[in-house]
Structure 1
Amino acid sequence: MDWDVLYRESLPPWEVGSVSPELNRIVDEWHFSKGTVLDLGCGTGADAVFLAQRGFDVTAVDFSPTAVERARTRAQNAAANVCFVLEDVFRFGLHAGVFDLVYDSSFYQFVRNWELSRLLDLLWRVTKPGSYYVCIIKTASQSPALELPPVSEEDLRSELGRLFELVQIREFTFDARVVRKTFSGVSAVMRRPVPTSTIKT
C-alpha cells in the first residue's frame, strides 16, 4: 500500500482531522509526568501537536512525506515545538533512544498481523521500566479497502502483555467534526513493569 498516495489524494479514513478526544481524556485523567513522548505513525500531526501543547517533549515519526509536511505546517501554525521525523518507524527505533510515553493510534492495529515481532522489538528498544504505552484502536469500519481485524482485550493482553501490564482499557465513541465521521474504538493504557527490588533481611 502506498501510504503517501492516500495522504496526497485526501485524508486517509483513519484520520480524525483534529486531536483525538480519547487521547485528550487520557491525558487529563492520568496526569502523566511531562517527559518524552514518541508518536508512532503520527500522520498529519494533530495528536503530536496537542501533546506538545500540553508540555510534553514530542518526537513524531511517519513514513509519508505528505503527512509529515502537513504535520510540520500544523505545528508551525500552532507554535508547537514537535520533532517530526520522516522515516520508517522500525528503522527509527534502532537509534531513537528511550521515551517516557509511547503513543500509538492504530499503528499496532495495522502491523500486528505481519510485523508483531518487529513491533515488540521496537517497543522494547524505545521504552524502559516505568514507561507508559497508550494505544488507541479503531473498531468502526474505516473503509472496505482498509478493513482491519478487530482487536480484543485478550489480544492486547496476549500480544502486548509480553512487555506491558494493562492498567486501563476502555471503549469509546466520538463524532469527528472535521471529517464528519463517527469513530468508535478501544483505548488501552499500559505500563512497562518496574522490577521490584529484593530486600535482604
Structure 2
Amino acid sequence: MLINSNEQLLVLLDNVLREPQNFWNEFYDQTFKKIPFFVNKPDENLVSYFENKIIQPREVLELGCGPGRNAIYLAKQGCSVVGVDISDKALQWAQKRVDEANVNVDLMCANIFELDLQEESFDFIYDSGCFHHIAPHRRVTYIELVHKLLKPNGYFALCSFEEHGAYGGSAISDEEVYIKRSLAGGLGYTKNQLREIFQSLEAIEIRKMIAMSDEDEYFGLEGFLVGLFKKID
C-alpha cells in the first residue's frame, strides 16, 4: 500500500498492533470462565459519580461496553445509552443481559474510530477497559473523538490498567510497543500520565479503583486507575 495520508498511516499501524475482532470474540465466548470483568456489576467509581451527584447525564456513550454491565446500570439511572464494542459476541451477551434487566440500550458493533455519531450529542462518555488497549499512535485520535462527541461541559470517565497491575498494565514505553509490535496485553498508566494525556480536559478525580469483594454489589479491583474529567469550552 502506498501511504499518502495520515489516516492511511494510522490504519496501517492499527493492523500491525490492534487485537483483531476474532481475538475479542474468542475472549467473550468464554462465558463459563471466572474472568473478573464478566460479573454483571457496575464499576464502583461509576456508581459513586451518580450517588454523589457529581454527574447527572441524560445522553451517554460507553466505549468498549463488553457484556453491558455498566451500560445496564446507566440505563437504570434513566440515561439514554449507546454502547459500542468491536466484538459481536460481547454484544450478543450484552443484549441478553439488557433484555433480562428490562432496560433499553442501543448496542453497536463497531470500531470506535469509525463511529458515525452526531457531534456534541453526549453528556457523558464512559470507558471501562478500552483505553488501555489503544495503541500510542491512536491516543490523539481517541481524545479528538471524546471532544467531538461530548457536549460542552460534558463529562468523560475511564477505568484503566495501572502500571504493573495484577490483571494487566504493561510498563513498556511507547517506542517499545512498535519495536515489539505488541501492547503486551494492555498498557499500564500512572496518575500523572493520565493527567498529562487528558490535559485538554479538566481533571475532576484521578485515583485508584477501590477493590470490592464478591459479596459487594459493585465491581472494583486492585491494579486499576479511574479518572473523571470535564470538557470545558
Range of TM-score over shorter length: 0.7 to 0.9
**2:232 alignment partner in structure 1:** 193
- Over 3 Å counting, the alpha-carbon distance change for 1:182 and 1:22 in structure 2 is closer
Q: Which runs of 5+ in 1 are unaligned?
A: 195-201
Choose which of 15, 22, 27 in structure 1 pairs with 2:37.
15
RMSD (CA atoms): 2.5
Cα deviation, residue 14, structure 1: 6.3
Q: Distance in 2 between matches of 1:30 and 1:188?
A: 16
Q: Which runs of 5+ in 2 are unaligned?
A: 1-18, 171-182
User: 1:16-55 alignment to 2 at 5 Å?
Assistant: 16-17=38-39, 18-55=41-78
**1:141 alignment partner in structure 2:** 166
Choose which of 148, 151, 167 in structure 2 pairs with 1:125.
148
**1:84 alignment partner in structure 2:** 107
Q: Distance in 1 between matches of 2:220 and 2:142?
A: 28
**1:166 alignment partner in structure 2:** 203
**1:198 alignment partner in structure 2:** none
For the 8 Å contact 1:132–1:191, the answer to whether it is kept is yes
Is the counterpart of residue 155 in structure 1 residue 176 in structure 2? no
Q: What amino acid does structure 2 have at the position aligned with 1:155?
A: Q
TM-score (norm 1): 0.84
For the 8 Å contact 2:57–2:124, the answer to whether it is kept is no
Q: Distance in 2 between matches of 1:53 and 1:115?
A: 32
Cα deviation, residue 121, structure 1: 2.0
The 3-state SS of whatever aligns with 1:30 is coil
Q: Moved runs in structure 1, 4+ residues, more than 6 A?
A: none
Q: How many residues align?
A: 190
Q: What amino acid does structure 2 have at the position aligned with 1:152?
A: T
**1:75 alignment partner in structure 2:** 98
The 3-state SS of whatever aligns with 2:209 is strand
For the 8 Å contact 2:57–2:79, the answer to whether it is kept is yes
Cα deviation, residue 112, structure 1: 4.7
Identity, in percent, stands at 21
The 3-state SS of whatever aligns with 1:174 is coil
